[in-house]
Chain A
Amino acid sequence: KAGVTQTPRYLIKTRGQQVTLSCSPISGHRSVSWYQQTPGQGLQFLFEYFSETQRNKGNFPGRFSGRQFSNSRSEMNVSTLELGDSALYLCASSPVGTGWVVGPFFGPGTRLTVL
């Protein structure tokens, strides 16, 4: 099976702009979650979607949002970018609901730089 894919891999934006990141989960996985990784804070959970519904949400401001489509692909959006949003954004998919307790499995990430 193909792994989790994320696009784009690298992105440079300026403060105040908005950005949309895309994630395609492993085939058959219906849960997609997003994480932010920074040197100072490590890996932090943003939110999780399952069957197009947000099931869990981390402690991030409302500028961070996401959605999931019927084919399980997911997007996350960050509006009004701040310098502190510079990070590696990771998407992960899980075989939730299949009875298989393993994972989640991460994609390669999108490196976002805010200037």
Chain B
Amino acid sequence: TQLLEQSPQFLSIQEGENLTVYCNSSSVFSSLQWYRQEPGEGPVLLVTVVTGGEVKKLKRLTFQFGDARKDSSLHITAAQTGDTGLYLCAGTYDITGTASKLTFGTGTRLQVTL
């Protein structure tokens, strides 16, 4: 059974600070996704990474996929209150890379205050 560890579980910071969330697995991912979820809503896809060492940027968010494809990180620069939410990493281990069966991390609950 693949396990996906996410850290930290909770993060409370002030607006303008930087933060990094980590996602680690004991197995190699075929692809990895990062989502953000608001209470009572479905997860919203932020990024999909598939290549070891890949770095993707989405405005103030930077996503990195480890060279060995066993870990990933999400870095937010100058956090804003609108970044508040539950951040979830999710990986697929399907060798076909279809990304249709995800294993989710436990999530990082981020609170950004003024």
Contact = CB atoms under 8 A, between A and B. Distances in A.
Interface in B93-109: 97-107
Q: How large is the interface on B (under 10, 10 to 19, 20 to 34, 35 or more residues)?
A: 20 to 34
A102 interface: yes
A45 interface: yes
Interface stretch (A12-20, A62-70, A107-115): A107-115
B31 interface: yes
- Per DSSP, chain B at the interface is loop
Given A48-B101, A56-B101, A96-B100, A101 B107 contact: no
- Per DSSP, chain A at the interface is strand
Given A106-B43, A107-B42, A33 B33 contact: no
A31 B97 CA distance: 13
A94 B45 contact: no
A103 B48 contact: yes
Interface string B70-105: 000000000000000000101000000111111111
B42 A103 contact: no
A103 B45 contact: yes
Interface in A41-100: 42-45, 48, 50, 55-56, 58, 88, 90, 92, 94, 96
Interface centre among A6, A44, A106, A108 (most CB of B within 10 A): A106
A41 to B, nearest CB: 10
12 contacts: A33-B100, A42-B104, A43-B88, A43-B90, A43-B102, A55-B100, A58-B101, A96-B98, A96-B100, A104-B99, A106-B45, A107-B42
Contact of A94 (B35, B100, B104): B100
Given A43-B88, A103-B48, A96 B99 contact: yes
Given A103-B48, A106-B35, A111 B40 contact: yes
B101 A101 contact: no
Contacts of B90: 43
